[in-house]
């Protein structure tokens, strides 16, 4: 059911040409070959569909686990967003025992610090009064990077799903523009129109004709 929903074309504004589709599929296959086990684990733990996670990895970093543009790694997530993504899922009561177990393997007691926070970015002695508990070295670890990126996506998807329909255009825009960005368009074309150029292209690459989700989701 999730695959049927996410495969739905949301705009007729496209980005990729037919020739580029083949290259996209080859790149996605390479990402799956290298990181498929971590992607599948994150999908299972967070209930974010695997094609969405894979598409974000391709768009964000082209599968480079060492990508560092301020945001870090495969899913290009920074220390603040990673920490806040974990906090938000916990606050909503969605951070499962299995997710916590996976996070503890990397973070140890620093995860407890996030779980103690009463608000986003709360500065506590356990996070050295920074409000941030995730480290750069953790984000350079592909398994951890994919997991925390998927946890953050789970929050956005939950907030942007109405009547069982995922507004993936809004999820994409908010992932690109940060959590507090609130697109108000009634459809993907309106969200594209109100978004900065980079964000608008991002949406077209995902959910336009010949977009990633239209080409990599096969069932």
Q: What is the CATH number of the domain that holds 129?
A: 1.10.530
Q: 4: pLDDT confidence band, cut at 50, 70 and 90?
A: very low
pLDDT per residue as tens digits for the range 203-212: 999 999 999 9
Tokens representing 208 are 């336009």
* DSSP assignment of 12-54: S-----HHHHHHHHHHHHHHHHHHHHHHHHHHHHH---HHHHH
Q: What domain range is 130 assigned to?
A: 2-216
Tokens representing 111 are 């995860």
pLDDT per residue as tens digits for the range 87-107: 999 999 999 999 999 999 999
Number of domains composing the chain: 1
pLDDT per residue as tens digits for the range 160-203: 998 888 899 999 999 999 999 999 999 999 999 999 999 999 99
Q: Is the dihedral of CA 151, 42, 23, 16 positive or negative?
A: negative
The pTM is what?
Answer: 0.94
pLDDT per residue as tens digits for the range 14-35: 999 999 999 999 999 999 999 9
Mean pLDDT value of segment 66-76:
94
């Amino acid at each position: 059911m999730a695959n049927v929903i996410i495969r739905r074309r949301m705009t007729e504004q496209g980005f990729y040409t037919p020739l580029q589709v083949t290259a996209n599929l080859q790149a996605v296959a390479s990402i799956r070959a290298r990181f498929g086990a971590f992607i599948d684990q994150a999908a299972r733990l967070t209930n974010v569909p695997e094609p969405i996670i894979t598409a974000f990895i391709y768009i964000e970093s082209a599968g480079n686990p060492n990508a560092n543009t301020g945001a870090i790694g495969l899913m290009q997530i920074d220390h603040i967003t990673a920490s806040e993504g974990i906090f938000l899922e916990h606050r909503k009561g969605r951070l499962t025992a299995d997710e916590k177990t996976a996070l503890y393997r990397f973070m140890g007691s620093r995860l407890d610090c996030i779980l103690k926070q009463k608000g986003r970015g709360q500065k506590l002695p356990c996070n050295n009064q920074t409000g941030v508990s995730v480290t750069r070295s953790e984000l350079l670890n592909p398994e951890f990077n994919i997991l925390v990126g998927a946890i953050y996506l789970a929050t956005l998807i939950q907030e942007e799903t109405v009547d069982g329909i995922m507004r993936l255009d809004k999820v994409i825009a908010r992932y690109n523009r940060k959590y507090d960005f609130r697109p108000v368009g009634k459809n993907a074309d309106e969200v594209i129109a109100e978004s900065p150029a980079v964000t608008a292209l991002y949406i077209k690459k995902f959910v336009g004709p010949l977009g990633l989700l239209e080409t990599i989701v096969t069932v």
